[in-house]
Structure 1
Amino acid sequence: MAIYDEAVLGERCVLPFCAEPEEIRYLRRAVRGALGRWGAGVAAEEAELAVTELATNTIQHVGHGTAAVLVMEVGVDRLRLELHDKSSLTPVVGSGGCEAECGRGLHLLAAMSLDWGTLLTAAGKAVWCELPLAPVRRCPRSHRAATVLEAYQRLAGATTQGPSARAALAASATGVIADLLYWLALQGLDPVETLDQAQARYETGADAA
């Protein structure tokens, strides 16, 4: 299992990884986590699929064990993914969907992307694609919640890794709510009343910005 050296600058994420089949699931998990922190978790499924195809293409056509870097960046209406490797060989999508020549991955990538292509770099190349990301998906409320939850997990020593990631997230969210209610009581405020107000706000969708 790889431990990714993740550098996040604003809404840009850099994930170095080793191009091996068993590494792809950890790379997908890192992608989903970054999108969740950015409030763009709705796009995670498409992003994971695109990253799988990009990484698989590198494994098949550059070589197992290749040092590679995935760069993700969120724009106003799209998500850009770049996979950098040290080969200058440019992938070409063959006619007729020829799997032997180019693999189905690039055809799938082209079909699901707004645009895609290859850039030659000083170290090799970057295969990139851009996925649609409607502004509504980048919900500020979701972004704030993800930031709070991530900080809480660090303080509590919790983790979202492993097959029960969804259960771990639910447990951490429950912990955040319970601790907030306890804190409110210590301040002499009514936890039940605050919880009712929060429930009402959630149901109406008010103050989502």
Structure 2
Amino acid sequence: MTWELPFVAVPEGVARLRRIVVTPLRLWGVSNLVGTVQLCLTELITNVITHVGTKTPVWIALSLQGTQVRVEVRDPDRQGFPVLRQATSAQETGRGLRLVDAVADRWGVTPDDHGKTIWCELPIGPTPTAGRCDTGARVAHAEALPTLYGRAPVGGGSNSLLGHAVAEGTVAGLIADLLHWCQIHGDDLNTLLQHARVRLTARLERT
């Protein structure tokens, strides 16, 4: 099964795209991947905007292939292949592909006559039971965020005092960068923070 959509890569269109992709994923019975697919599409589109240019016409495709969902973003530029880099806390870019690399089974870039396609493949995994949250997966994802952000905890890992302090500083930087990203894309930060608090409270009540 394949779902395709032509799209113009502009920052203000990303939120609409995130809403649109919910429908095919629900129809395929993989609602548990909605957030992950939205994350990957956001980062891949942002990569096009940053390195190819805003208002670049792209072609988006989602396909259900056995035990995976494949996400593709094709743009007309055959140059400038994205490269996975080690981002530091001082850099404004470079973390998007690291997030994609972390959540996907694999990802890559395929050149063709029309340009290039950046793609990633996401494992379907077990669908969460209604009304319950996969606590183990969420905890593992949360624990991985400081490392993905560019600096792994040191001095004995996140369980040590020094490791925890480093991770705490990294998380603070991650939150600041996410809020900055949302502000750039026109989101109201107070409303966003309120939504985050509500979701966190609901998540904690289900555990």
TM-score by length of 2: 0.57
Q: Name the amino acid aligned to 2:7.
A: F
Measured against aligned partners, the alpha-carbon deviations of 1:117-150 in whole angstroms (never above 9, x if no partner) come to 000011100000011102x5399xxxxxxxxxxx
Matches of 2:46 and 2:104, distance apart in 1 = 17
Secondary structure in structure 2 of the residue aligned to 1:63 = coil
Matched, 1:24 2:11: no
Q: Name the amino acid aligned to 2:102.
A: A
Q: Say if 1:19 and 1:65, in contact at 8 Å, map to a contact too.
A: yes
For 1:76, the equivalent position in structure 2 comes to 66
Q: 1:65 aligns with which of 33, 55, 58?
A: 55
Q: Equivalences for 1:46-195 in 2 at 5 Å?
A: 46-89=36-79, 90-94=81-85, 96-97=86-87, 103-134=94-125, 136-137=126-127
Q: Say if 1:38 and 1:138, in contact at 8 Å, map to a contact too.
A: no
Matches of 2:12 and 2:55, distance apart in 1 = 11
Q: Which runs of 5+ in 1 are unaligned?
A: 1-10, 140-209
Q: Name the amino acid aligned to 1:129.
A: C
Matches of 1:35 and 1:15, distance apart in 2 = 14
For 2:152, the equivalent position in structure 1 comes to none
Offset at residue 39 of structure 1 (A): 1.5
Matches of 1:101 and 1:120, distance apart in 2 = 27
Offset at residue 93 of structure 1 (A): 1.5
Q: Which runs of 5+ in 2 are unaligned?
A: 130-207
For 1:186, the equivalent position in structure 2 comes to none
Residues 76, 66 of structure 1: alpha-carbon distance in 2 compared, 3 angstrom cutoff: same
Matches of 1:74 and 1:138, distance apart in 2 = 18
Aligned alpha-carbon RMSD (Å): 2.1
Matches of 1:23 and 1:101, distance apart in 2 = 21
Structure number with larger C-alpha Rg = 1
TM-score by length of 1: 0.57
Aligned identity (percent) is: 35
Offset at residue 38 of structure 1 (A): 1.4
Q: Say if 1:39 and 1:138, in contact at 8 Å, map to a contact too.
A: no
Aligned length: 127
Measured against aligned partners, the alpha-carbon deviations of 1:53-91 in whole angstroms (never above 9, x if no partner) come to 111111111100000011100122111001000011211
Secondary structure in structure 1 of the residue aligned to 2:62 = strand
Runs of at least 4 residues off by over 3 Å? 98-102, 136-139
